[in-house]
Structure 1
Amino acid sequence: MRRHPPVPSLVFDTYWYFASERQSIFHARAGGAEAPWTDDPVLGAYKFTNAYRASDRTSQFLIKRVIYNEDHDWPSTLLRVLLFKVFNKTATWNLLEASLGPMSLNNFSSERINAVLDDAIASGTAIYSNAYIMPSGAASMRQARKHRMHIALLSDIVRGSVSADIQKANSMEQAYNIIRSVPSFGPFLAMQFLVDLNYTQFLNFSEMDFVVPGPGARDGIRKCFQSLGDYDETDVIRWVAERQELELSTRGLEFKTLWGRPLQLIDCQNLFCEVDKYARVAHPEVEGRTGRTRIKQRFRAHAEQLTPWYPPKWGINEKIRQCQAAPGPSRE
């Protein structure tokens, strides 16, 4: 039986414009162009994540410095990824490794990690990113301080069956459900953590297999469509990902992919979240679920040159080297 498709609103045009322009900014910066990288006043003034999740600075740090900096086995890689992502702050990771040495399962010590973080908090240092809110945990795991609960939780994870269960999972959804079963890991966090673990050499799920829409994406979807028809929000994300070439060409938009890699489900999910924010300024008359009307973070350019690098299994890094060696900008 044929399902009724979603009915787009005017913000759906903005979704594709935003994806194209944000990716153009990324390529300009990666190619060494000087600011300004866009004429769009909203994109020029406010902070937005990249069209591709793996291109964001925090993801790049995770891929380069947490996952692929040394040869770690799966249990240590799981620990490193989750320890980094619980705080999601590069400064916290750098502090821990500077104080305790390279993190691995062999030298993991809750007491030593907590001592370093206790001192950091006492000195007024923020140890958590504000990108998303980490819950304080289940009632059974209450600790005097939030970070101590998270370290205790990580200790339980690496010493339990979660590590082996994830690696044995037959599908991305099955792996997601394993992570989701961890106390205090809700749907959004479980999905984000799985995507990060899937960057490693130990998991190889397709990013087109499975996705869970987060709260920001749900708001963006509401703004982009007058009706979802017979689709739910997860269906909509897949529908958008599968139609990306058609939707872009219909609007006459040039989209420079990630060196041949099209947008994946997680990227389209993230774009809905970012378009929700963008529309607060570009389409203030269009209401979302939350009623938020402003964008909190202003854009501040980092001084260092962007040097993108991705999981080797994607086959992108050699293409980047070839493009950087060739004269003129990449047109992929």
Structure 2
Amino acid sequence: MQPFSSLAPAKPSVVFDTYWRFAAERQAVFHRRALGETPPWTDDEILREYKFTNAYRASDRVSQYLIRHVIYEGDQSSEEVFFRTILFKLFNKIETWEMLSQELGPPTYAEYSFERYDRILTRAIEGKRTIYSAAYIMPSGSKAFGTTRKHRSHLRLLEQMMEDNLPARIAEAPSMRKAFELLLSYPMIGDFLAYQYVTDLNYSDLTDFSEMEFVIPGPGALDGIRKCFESLGGLSETDVIKVVAERQEAEFARLGLEFHSLWGRPLQLIDCQNLFCEISKYARVKHPDVAGVSKRTRIKQKHRPNMEPIDYWYPPKWGINERISNGAGTRTENGVDHHGGE
């Protein structure tokens, strides 16, 4: 597909400009927090009251934990990196990973035992502990694996992946789409989860796909896209995400917005997809008269600042960790990103 020189034939709504303003302000909040400023980090009343993910997916607390403490700690063989990453993401909850680590030591496939993992997780459930994040709706898998407990189905799913030599097959995949399709072929994994998982695996050295290569819009993003555009003009939702990613500098410049990037890394397709999901929520308050496809009218999660600091660290292959430690700038003026040392 050729690069988009304009939004045509899609017709943006009033929410489209809000998309860019939200992206700029949410990223500004991220940098203010990273610099150690005290709250409130914004004058935007909606951002202050409700919870929204970061503009960059990899900056969220769970992604940061995954990258630093799950993917890049421990054996870096394809098999072990895959095992740790998918095990963590099946629950997507830091506390569950730490519980397993405390009981078992660092989780490894070499020492994996269904019975031991099941015993720990079952005991946690019976103790009224929440072992799954609320971020994703995880299917139970009772039909696929004949179990009555969701966590047992997920352990069996991971076992099946490992027995099928999926880590090596993912590592050999010629494209992000092919790796996505391999994950999608498994029970309990639909388009949304397969795309999330391939993105997480791609933080590691198991694969080295560009995040500008492939995107799958999730349910929230589909709703946000419909709010941002009165008409798609025949474009698919995937096309729209590619449009906004390719045009980000022009759009920030058009609105006179100063966008502080991720130490020189522009928004990627996964980030623009996530931003559509977040604008779907934000618009419920900012533009209550603009309907999407979900028909939801309220934002459920309130903003409760977690004051525990994060030592931000990203996949080394991105080449931005040195810029963080050097305090390089991230200012965007007139759509041009400036970062120190270049």
Q: CA deviation at 1:256?
A: 0.4
- 254, 257, 261: which is aligned to 2:261? 257
Match of 2:230, SS?
strand
Offset of residue 330 of structure 1: 5.2
AA in 2 matched with 1:315? G
1:243 paired residue among 241, 247, 257? 247
Worse-superposed segment, 63-72 or 148-157: 63-72
What are the equivalent positions in structure 2 for 1:179-190 lying under 5 Å apart?
179-190=183-194
Q: Which residue pairs with 2:157 in the alignment?
A: 153
Letter in 1 for 2:54: N
SS state at 1:125 partner: coil
Measured against aligned partners, the alpha-carbon deviations of 1:209-258 in whole angstroms (never above 9, x if no partner) come to 00000000000000000000121000000010000000010000000000
How far off its partner does 1:138 sit?
Answer: 6.2
Task: Judge which range, 161-170 or 145-154, deviates more.
Answer: 161-170
Q: Does 1:12 align with 2:11?
A: no
Q: Do residues 298 (structure 1) and 302 (structure 2) align?
A: yes
Which structure carries more relative contact order (alpha carbon 8 Å, separation 6+)? Answer: 1
Q: Is the 8 A contact 1:63 1:311 kept in 2?
A: yes
Which residue of 162, 167, 172 maps to 1:163?
A: 167
Is 2:334 aligned against 1:309? Answer: no
RMSD over aligned Cα atoms: 1.5
Q: How many Å separate the matches in 1 of 2:203 and 2:147?
A: 31
Q: Secondary structure at the match of 1:163?
A: helix
2:120 & 2:57 partners in 1: Cα distance? 30
Using the alignment, how far apart are the partners of 2:35 and 2:209 within structure 1? Answer: 30
Distance, in Å, in 2 between the alignment partners of 1:260 and 1:330 is 6
Tell me which residue corresponds to 1:119. Answer: 123
- Residue 91 of structure 1 corresponds to 95
CA drift of 1:43 comes to 0.2
SS at match of 1:226: strand
How far off its partner does 1:109 sit? 1.0
Q: What residue number does 1:172 align with?
A: 176
State the secondary structure of the residue aligned to 2:43. coil
Equivalent-residue separation in structure 2 for 1:17 and 1:237 (angstroms):
17
TM-superposed deviation, 1:42: 0.3
What is the alpha-carbon distance in structure 2 between the residues aligned to residue 305 and residue 267 of structure 1? Answer: 22
The separation in 1 between residues aligned to 2:291 and 2:52, in whole angstroms, is 19
For 2:142 and 2:253, locate their aligned partners in 1 and report how far apart those are by CA, in whole Å: 48
Residue 140 in structure 1 maps to residue 144 in structure 2? yes
What residue number does 2:60 align with?
A: 56
Q: Among 250, 270, 281, which residue is 1:277 paired with?
A: 281
Q: Which stretch of structure 1 is more off in the superposition, 157-166 or 169-178? A: 157-166
* Amino acid of the structure 2 residue aligned with 1:81: T
**TM-score, normalization: structure 2?**
0.93
State the SS of the aligned residue for 2:327.
helix
Mapped partners of 1:21, 1:257: distance in 2: 11
**Letter of the 2:233 counterpart:** G
1:196 aligns with 2:200: yes
Task: Answer whether contact 1:219 1:276 (CA < 8 A) is retained.
Answer: yes
Distance apart, 1:5 and its partner CA: 2.4
Look up the match of 2:38: 34
Deviation at 1:71, TM superposition (A): 3.5
Q: Match of 1:209, SS? A: coil
Unpaired segments of 5 or more residues in structure 1? none
Aligned AA (2:185): S
Structure 1 contact 138–184 (Cα < 8 Å) conserved: no
Q: CA deviation at 1:142?
A: 2.5
- Percent identity reads 55
Indicate yes or no: 2:39 matched with 1:73.
no
